Amino acid sequence: MASACIQDVQFPPLHIPLHITHKEIVVPAGPVPVAPGDTLYLSNLDDMIGCRVFTPTVYFYRSNPSKCNNVVEKLRDALALVLVPYYPFSGRIRKTDNGKLEIFFGPNQGALVVEAHSSMALNDLGELSVPNPAWAPLVYHFSNEEPYKVIDMPLLIAQVTYFSCGGFSIGFRLCHCLCDGIGAMQFFNAWAATTRLGNLVASPEPCWDREYFRPRDPPIIKYPHLEFMKIMDGSTLTRSLWEVKPVQKCYRASKRFQDHIKSLAQGNTQNNYSTFDAMAAHIWRSWVKALDVKPLDYELRLTFTVNTRHMLKEPPLKEGFYGNAVCIACATSKVKELIDHPLPDTANLVHKARLSINEDYLRSVVDYIEVRRPQMLEFGGKLTITQWTRFSLYETADFGWGRPVYAGPIDLRPTPQVCVLLPEGGENSTGMLVCICLPETACKRFEELFCNTDNA
């Protein structure tokens, strides 16, 4: 099955020269239900430490002379319309006395749209089907901006970069406090449809409703919440990734390869494992083996998010809710067990962790954050897998210029213990891109383990 998994070519050395020609704050085009001085409540799921980040993505569009005119103007005008129902995106985040975050509204706020030009052509950017850290200039950052800064920042930043060939990119930075992946797709779908059609389209109707996730009084923490636990990493795992400059690698996993892994994971068990259960287990085992993690009795964690929207019944969450409504599932295993036990055993750990998430667990998470309010991202002995394959990245990205050539993240290396599963960009593709960070010395070993499944 190794031929079904193909490593993408190395990223060539690349410098993207560009010149920023215009920056503009975009405000709602009509009245909104807030005034300067007003605030909006963020739930504990919105302001947990893992959401206090911007999610940078880039979308590439080929030249189309009949359509690619006035890109910045059309995006700006449509955004102003969309910011009426999505008015929280025009606010800012500030910290309250107890360390909790909230949205506040003041004068001269809004989203930021940036226009840039490059002398390069799209074809000069290398392979456009997989994320490349060299594309970072295509997403706007303020000079001397601190890492992970969300306080007093525009909550939406879009940079349009025109290339010499007539193609262009749109680089987005969206504050995770406002929405999870599904919520972001809802927002981008509204913005794209409004740009494409020239009038406001916002269906389903956007719903803020963050009070739905208010903590209980008194808080009730019913679970150990290993996903948040601070663990002093006594293994070689974290050190091997953070003490060297990791390499970002991407692997194509065809539908046939995914089905094969799922079949191997199923084995003779009666459990109905999902493709995610199987692929996550296979990635986790391959990664740990490639990194040669020691000591063998050290307990590792695998975390991943689970969408809870369909689980919430009392009362149900409104359809247009675009805030964070995910829980972090956590599977644990000693290094020796990951290495020595067969794939079905690891798939069962992932499966059980995924099924452990329910409404009761979610309410406990909300209360845990209320009481403990974690202040640091914890990476001890952990791999986090983020499943973007469930997002309609390409389907929500037709702003009137057709389907993008690529839509997705850029650089995973700032958080090298995060693996991202991306959909392939082809119109009818069922493949998956597995993007992961490794020390250079472990790349060949990981590829052998991941692509050759004879010993899974």
CATH superfamily of 2-6+224-390+401-451: Chloramphenicol acetyltransferase-like domain (3.30.559.10)
Q: Are 105 and 214 in contact (CB under 8 A)?
A: no
CATH superfamily of 8-213: Chloramphenicol acetyltransferase-like domain (3.30.559.10)
In tens, the pLDDT along 243-286 reads: 888 999 999 899 999 999 999 999 887 888 999 999 999 999 99
Mean pLDDT check: name the lowest of 99-108, 179-188, 404-413, 419-428. 419-428
Task: Judge residue 19's burial from the number of C-beta atoms within 10 Å of its C-beta, 0-12 exposed, 13-18 middle, 19 or more buried.
Answer: exposed
Distance, CA of 179 to CA of 325 (rounded, Å): 8
In tens, the pLDDT along 198-225 reads: 999 999 999 999 999 999 999 999 999 9
Distance, CA of 185 to CA of 301 (rounded, Å): 29
> Is there a common fold for 2-6+224-390+401-451 and 8-213?
yes
pLDDT at residue number 9: 47
Average pLDDT of the residues of the chain: 92
- The answer, yes or no, to whether residue 57 has pLDDT greater than 70, is yes
- The answer, yes or no, to whether residue 403 has pLDDT greater than 80, is yes
- The answer, yes or no, to whether residue 7 has pLDDT greater than 60, is no
Q: Which residues contact 217 (CB under 8 A, 6 or more apart)?
A: none
Average pLDDT, stretch 16-37? 97
Percentage, residues of the chain above pLDDT 70: 96
pLDDT at residue number 98: 83
- The answer, yes or no, to whether residue 406 has pLDDT greater than 60, is yes
Percentage, residues of the chain above pLDDT 90: 80
CA angle 373, 47, 148 (to 5 degrees): 100
Average pLDDT, stretch 340-363? 97
| The model scores a pTM over 0.75 | yes
Average pLDDT, stretch 403-409? 95
Distance, CA of 173 to CA of 145 (rounded, Å): 13
Helix, strand, coil fractions of the chain, as percent rounded to 5: 30, 25, 45
- The answer, yes or no, to whether residue 54 has pLDDT greater than 60, is yes
Distance, CA of 206 to CA of 426 (rounded, Å): 30
Largest CA distance in the chain: 63
* Domain residue ranges of the chain, discontinuous segments joined by +: 2-6+224-390+401-451, 8-213
